[in-house]
Copies of this chain bind each other. A is one copy, B any other.
Amino acid sequence: MDAENFIPASLYVCPVVASRPVGAYRQVAFVAPEIAALAHPGQFIMVRRAGPALDPLLPRPMCISDADSDLVKILVEPVGKGSAKLAASQVGDRLSVMGPLGTGFDLEGEGPAVLVGGGIGVSPLVLTAGTLAERGRAVRCILGFRARQQAVAAELFRDFDVDVLTEDGSMGRTGLVNEPLPGCLAIEPGQPAPEVFACGPDGMLWEVARISRECGVRAQVSVATHMACGIGSCQGCVIRTKGSYRKACTSGPVFEAGELEW
C-alpha cells in the first residue's frame, strides 16, 4: 500500500459481539462495517473502551486481525493495563475505535507468500493469509510461539499450510521460526520469487530480514512501537530506517525489511 494514498480513517463507537480466549490471547469481535470494508491486511486501529474513564488514558494500537462484512476482529495479548482492559471486553461492551490506520502489506506480488508470525504477531497474518489466498497466491505460514498457551493461536490458520514451532517444545516443533524459514525461500527458476510477510518481536524480525536478504527475497515486516496518536501527530512511534526516523503509524507499521536499521 502506498503510504501517501491514505484510506480515510474515522472514529467509531463499536459494540463488542464476541469475545473468546485463544490460548493466552483473546479474540474480540466488534461491529464496525466501515472499517471492515476498508481494512487492508496489515493495517491497525487505535482502540480503547468507550467512555470517560481516564485509566487507561489513551487508545492502544491493535492490528486488524480479521474483518468481514460487518465485523472486525482483534487478537489481544494482555501485557499491561491497556491490553488487559481490552482483553477483558465482554459482549455488549462498547469500544472507541479509530481506523483503519497505517500502511498494510503490499499484496501485489505474484510469488508464493511465506507468512512468518511470532507470538501475538500472528494476529495480522490471519487477514493477510485469507486475502492472499483469495488473490490466488500460495500461502505458507511459519508460526513461532513461546509455548503451547500461545501456540493455540495457530488454530486461526486452519485453512492454511502451517508450521508451528514453540521454544519449549510444548506444541509443534521445538525451535524458532528462522530454522524452517530458509527452506521455504528457495527461488524456483522461471517462477516468481517467494515473498515474506512477517510480524513479531524485533529479534524475530531481524532474523527474518537477514535470512530473506541472504536468500534474495523481498520481506515486508510489521513493527510494533509505542504509539500515542496513531495519526502522525505526536512523533512518538518512530523507528530507525536507513537515514532517518520514520513514523510507524503513517509510514508503517509495515516496512520493507531492507529499509529498517536495527
Q: Does A79 contact B (CB under 8 A)?
A: no
Q: Mark A41-73, 1 if CB is under 8 A from B, else 0.
A: 000000000000111000000000000000000
- Please classify how large the interface on chain A is, using the bins under 10, 10 to 19, 20 to 34, 35 or more: under 10
Residues of B within 8 A of A53 (CB): 53, 55
Q: Report whether over half of chain A's contact residues are helix, strand or loop; otherwise say mixed.
A: loop
Expressed in whole angstroms, the minimum distance between the Cβ of A84 and any Cβ of chain B is 10
Cα(A53)–Cα(B51), bound, Å: 14
Cα(A55)–Cα(B52), bound, Å: 10
Cα(A23)–Cα(B107), bound, Å: 59
Expressed in whole angstroms, the minimum distance between the Cβ of A89 and any Cβ of chain B is 15
Expressed in whole angstroms, the minimum distance between the Cβ of A56 and any Cβ of chain B is 10
Cα(A53)–Cα(B53), bound, Å: 10
Residues of B within 8 A of A54 (CB): 55
Give A53-107 interface residues, CB cut-off 8 Å to B: 53-55
Expressed in whole angstroms, the minimum distance between the Cβ of A86 and any Cβ of chain B is 15
Q: Mark A151-195, 1 if CB is under 8 A from B, else 0.
A: 000000000000000000000000000000000000000000000
Expressed in whole angstroms, the minimum distance between the Cβ of A32 and any Cβ of chain B is 26
Give A17-57 interface residues, CB cut-off 8 Å to B: 53-55
Residue of B nearest to A55 (CB): B55
Residue of B nearest to A53 (CB): B55
Residue of B nearest to A81 (CB): B52
Expressed in whole angstroms, the minimum distance between the Cβ of A254 and any Cβ of chain B is 35
Residue of B nearest to A54 (CB): B55
Cα(A53)–Cα(B85), bound, Å: 10
Residues of B within 8 A of A55 (CB): 53-55
Cα(A53)–Cα(B54), bound, Å: 10
Expressed in whole angstroms, the minimum distance between the Cβ of A135 and any Cβ of chain B is 45
Residue of B nearest to A57 (CB): B55
Expressed in whole angstroms, the minimum distance between the Cβ of A248 and any Cβ of chain B is 29
Cα(A54)–Cα(B53), bound, Å: 10
Cα(A86)–Cα(B55), bound, Å: 17
Expressed in whole angstroms, the minimum distance between the Cβ of A166 and any Cβ of chain B is 31
Expressed in whole angstroms, the minimum distance between the Cβ of A91 and any Cβ of chain B is 15
Expressed in whole angstroms, the minimum distance between the Cβ of A158 and any Cβ of chain B is 36
Residue of B nearest to A85 (CB): B53
Expressed in whole angstroms, the minimum distance between the Cβ of A8 and any Cβ of chain B is 33
A residues at B contact (CB < 8 Å): 53-55
Q: List 4 A-B contacts (CB under 8 A).
A: A53-B53, A53-B55, A54-B55, A55-B55
Closest 4 A-B residue pairs measured CB to CB?
A55-B55, A54-B55, A53-B55, A53-B53
